[in-house]
Structure 1
Amino acid sequence: MTARTVDQLDTDVVICGSGVAGLATACALGRLGLDVVLVEKRRQQPHIAKGEVLQPGSLRILQGWEVLHRLESRQAVRLNRLVAREADGDELATMDFGTLGGNRSWMLSHDYSTILECTGEALGETVRLRRGVLANELIRDAGGRVAGVRVSEGGREYEIRARLVVAADGMSSRLRRMAGMSADPVAYGHRLLSFELADVPVAPDEVSAYVTRRGLVMIYPLPHERTRVYVQVAPDELRRADAARLEHWCAELVADVPALAPFAHLFKEALDRRQLLQVWRYRALSLVRPGIALVGEAAHGVHPLTAQGMNTAIGDAHTLAVHLAGTAPGATAAVDEALRGYENERLSRIRDIHVMSHNAARMMTSTSRVGRMLGRRLLSGTGRSARLRYLTTFNMSGLGMRPLTGFDRLVQLGVLPDPKARSFVPSH
């Protein structure tokens, strides 16, 4: 949309950032009939190998937003299981989403850019998207409440006045800092090297996560006969590596992870398209201040192993809309009360997701002998218990959270038997 030359815009909601969190929030709030301005500093979305797997809980939300059928029409791939495996492919534990029952008990994979595109197509008529707009400063009213943002676009500055500002501007969120909220990102001691393998005609309907001496290797299919592979690497493992070194590294990878042998030639062909991703974990201790709310990576970040980052952002958007429903946009006191309800509901859920994701990452990414042995033991203990497999699958699904207890940990370690290991029948 071409911006008008104005000194001020007035709207119900201004959202800063058009990643999945910003677009999802615009979609959710637009469906409430709110007037929404969505601003994004980038003119085009770069291709990023992240946020490609949608959990069952997100599929239910996206169905309500009329996004799901758009993804399915673009050949999104259905994934029925997440399987932890040994380097040679032997199974350690399988999380089968079909055991959850109900509709859409599976995951979907697609390119992050396509997920953004489909969400953008579902934006309501009351949503205006403006690209090339940078949020510079929060505007506050006489009482100190956030009342909008001051932005710059094409060499000019203007104000967007709003009853609610939503910060969806990522891990290093400027708006979060301006609002006096904090998050302290902690980098994992490894990075993930991402490959996109082309022309893979037959792929299993699962996310496969391999426990190896080099750490995590994760594989899942994408549409159009492609496969995504993440390989754990040390931060400087391939720094300034030439072509010969990279080919030797690929050969070493396949030797360490025999299950990758069928893909050996494809890794070499994909070397020039690889992406190196830094991995973080963090969560803001508060999500709201009067007039402003955090969503998505402005509020939290987790290891991508359990595919929770994008899905938690979609949950943020959905929950914020639930609390704002029926609230008159101009009633700022009611809006702030809705924000407190949003924060109260999401803080505990984000904390549980943060703990679950970090625990899973520790099991799968350790490169020490003791760490790998402990991780395998925990995974094998989960795999032997139908109850723990179901519980773990449910927690990853986005449908709810039932954190593991101390007893569950002892069962995983084999210290105590699980009386329901074989007789457990899930209640849907």
Structure 2
Amino acid sequence: MRYDVVVCGAGVAGLAAACALGRLGHRVLLAEKQDAVKPVAKGEVLQPGSLAILDEWGAAPDGALKLGTLVARDAGGAPQMALEYGRLPVERPWLLAHDYPAILAALTAALPSTVDFRRGVLVGGLVRSGGRVTGVRLADEVVDAALVVAADGISSRLRREAGIEASRQDYPHRLAAFELHGAPSVEADFSAYVTERGLRLRYPLPGGRVRLYAQVGADELRGLDAAGLASWADGLVSGTPALAPLADAIHANLGGRQLLPVSRFLAGALAVPGLALVGESGHAVHPMAAQGMNSAVADAHALASMLRQGGSLAPAVVDHALARYDVARRENLTQIGRTSHNAARMITDLSWVGRVAGRRALRGTGGNHRIRYTVMHTMSGLGVHPLTPVDRLHQLGVLPDPRARRLPAWA
């Protein structure tokens, strides 16, 4: 059997790739090993750059909530640094929050007729010819394709089989995720609380629900009985007084918690001849900056753009497009990864030096309009503008910034 493209994995990255490549008129096989979508506490916040792409595809999720601000607050709720998305010169200057399955459903509904979506199909491995990936093995057949897209997640077997290195760095903490039902309403923003125990993150979801993440040690919740969990929840609220209105909802929803590992990496390459990596098969960042899903959508959009410019699916043309994709996306993702990591360290580093430097950097960023706008623009997916070493000194308050009240020159 032959297709133009085979996409392996139907998370956001795989669905976005299938949607983007199918819209070019290519015959796409989208293969997913799971029979049904599993609800997970991930991929719930869309940035403005992704919203523009999804709207172009007709894949924006219905019923999502608009969040106008990403705010870093102290434990009592006082803002320390606020990214006000309404200041961005775009048509959709906001974040959107919705459930991961709802976002997947919107992408699935937007798939063009050129996409053959098969669930419950395990990709057994890659097929090669002359050093180039030329297809995949399924359980009962070989599928030839001009391009294979690996969207099989952070532990990607296809990435390893292709010989692409990925040095994954785990953060020394995890995130406990709670979906709070019956909670009082909260501000329509994405709030990260800076506490002595690290990050607490909350934002509203449709249906009057609230998503709450809490930074925890690797074994902090291990073996706790109901009384132990209740005591832990009491400590969570007492250490973050701003969450006191949610205390009853936190206690009521402790049983539905999910514990998520947190890591970051950027693969040594995002493409080899005949194969492209998209989403978490090629990169991952700390979820605090809401970049993972949005970077996956940008991967798919960029890959389709490179192939469209090539004009054909001849092997040499495809591989040239993949080389350009690799260079362009790695440059972009390097900067996004650095921005996300620095933002996460400001709040999650529990060492004495980390806490002092993080608090100073937050205040310095919050009080500097130029740097704050630059960080927001990069995180929104509208274009990367890296901070300089001098900007880092401005953030820490070591060096005054005479341009602190201005927009960046490029804006």
Task: Classify the secondary structure of the residue corresponding to 2:66.
Answer: strand
Task: Classify the secondary structure of the residue corresponding to 1:353.
Answer: helix
State the Cα distance separating 1:327 from its structure 2 match: 4.0
Query: Which of 10, 17, 21 is the equivalent residue of 2:13?
Result: 21
Q: Distance in 2 between matches of 1:342 and 1:425?
A: 28
1:42 aligned partner: 34
Query: Which of 235, 239, 248 is the equivalent residue of 1:252?
Result: 235
2:53 aligned partner: 61
Residue 107 of structure 2 corresponds to residue 151 of structure 1: no
State the Cα distance separating 1:374 from its structure 2 match: 1.2
Task: Classify the secondary structure of the residue corresponding to 1:134.
Answer: coil
Give the share of equivalent positions with the same residue, in percent. Answer: 53
Structural mapping, 1:26-425, within 5 Å? 26-68=18-60, 71=61, 73=62, 75-141=63-129, 143-152=130-139, 157-325=140-308, 327=310, 329-424=312-407
Q: Distance in 1 between matches of 2:410 and 2:302?
A: 25
State the Cα distance separating 1:224 from its structure 2 match: 0.7
State the Cα distance separating 1:421 from its structure 2 match: 2.1
State the Cα distance separating 1:426 from its structure 2 match: 7.9
**417-426 or 167-176, which moves further after superposition?**
417-426
The root-mean-square deviation of aligned C-alpha atoms, in Å, is 1.3
State the Cα distance separating 1:369 from its structure 2 match: 2.8
Q: Distance in 2 between matches of 1:421 and 1:46?
A: 46
State the Cα distance separating 1:115 from its structure 2 match: 0.4
State the Cα distance separating 1:370 from its structure 2 match: 2.6
Q: Distance in 2 between matches of 1:301 and 1:360?
A: 14
Task: Classify the secondary structure of the residue corresponding to 1:237.
Answer: coil
Q: Distance in 1 between matches of 2:310 and 2:342?
A: 39
Equivalent position amino acid for 1:247 in 2: A
Whether the 8 Å CA contact 2:20–2:300 is kept in 1: the answer is yes
Task: Classify the secondary structure of the residue corresponding to 2:52.
Answer: helix
Q: Distance in 1 between matches of 2:69 and 2:409?
A: 17
Task: Classify the secondary structure of the residue corresponding to 1:120.
Answer: helix
How many equivalent residue pairs?
411
Whether the 8 Å CA contact 1:85–1:91 is kept in 2: the answer is yes
Q: Distance in 1 between matches of 2:110 and 2:406?
A: 44
Q: Distance in 2 between matches of 1:197 and 1:396?
A: 27
Equivalent position amino acid for 1:54 in 2: L
Residue-by-residue CA offset, 1:9-58 (whole Å, 9 max, x unaligned): 21000000000000000000010000000001111111100010000000
Q: Distance in 2 between matches of 1:123 and 1:87?
A: 43
Whether the 8 Å CA contact 2:263–2:284 is kept in 1: the answer is yes
Whether the 8 Å CA contact 1:100–1:426 is kept in 2: the answer is no
Give the structure-2-normalised TM-score.
Answer: 0.98
1:5 aligned partner: none
Task: Classify the secondary structure of the residue corresponding to 2:141.
Answer: strand
Task: Classify the secondary structure of the residue corresponding to 1:325.
Answer: helix
Gapped regions of structure 2 (runs ≥ 5): none
State the Cα distance separating 1:357 from its structure 2 match: 1.0
Gapped regions of structure 1 (runs ≥ 5): 1-8
Give the structure-1-normalised TM-score.
Answer: 0.94
Whether the 8 Å CA contact 1:12–1:329 is kept in 2: the answer is no
Q: Distance in 1 between matches of 2:29 and 2:244?
A: 49
Residue-by-residue CA offset, 1:216-272 (whole Å, 9 max, x unaligned): 000111111111000000000010100000000010111111001000000011111
Residue-by-residue CA offset, 1:162-219 (whole Å, 9 max, x unaligned): 1100000011111111111111211110000000111335221210001111000001
Residue-by-residue CA offset, 1:341-386 (whole Å, 9 max, x unaligned): 1111101111111111111111110122332121111000111111
Whether the 8 Å CA contact 1:99–1:426 is kept in 2: the answer is no
